[in-house]
Amino acid sequence: MPVRPCRRSATDRWDDRFTAYAAATIERLAALGVTLIGIDTASIDPGDSKQLPSHQATRRLNMRVLENLVLDDVPEGDYELIALPLKLTQADASPVRALATP
Segment 47-60, tens digit of pLDDT: 899 999 999 999 99
Q: How many domains does the chain have?
A: 1
70 assigned to some structural domain: yes
pTM higher than 0.85: no
3 assigned to some structural domain: no
* Cβ-contact 15, 45 below 8 angstroms: no
Encoded amino acid at 34, one letter: V
55 assigned to some structural domain: yes
User: Residue 72 is part of a domain; what is its CATH number?
Assistant: 3.50.30.50
78 assigned to some structural domain: yes
How far, in Å, are 58, 63, 93 from residue 11 at the CA level? 26, 27, 20
The domain in which residue 87 lies consists of: 23-101
69 assigned to some structural domain: yes
12 assigned to some structural domain: no
Segment 84-99, tens digit of pLDDT: 989 898 988 889 988 8
Q: What is the mean pLDDT of the chain?
A: 86
On the question of pLDDT at 72 being above 90, the answer is: no
* Cβ-contact 68, 47 below 8 angstroms: no
Look at residue 1 in the predicted model and tell me its pLDDT. Answer: 34
79 assigned to some structural domain: yes
4 assigned to some structural domain: no
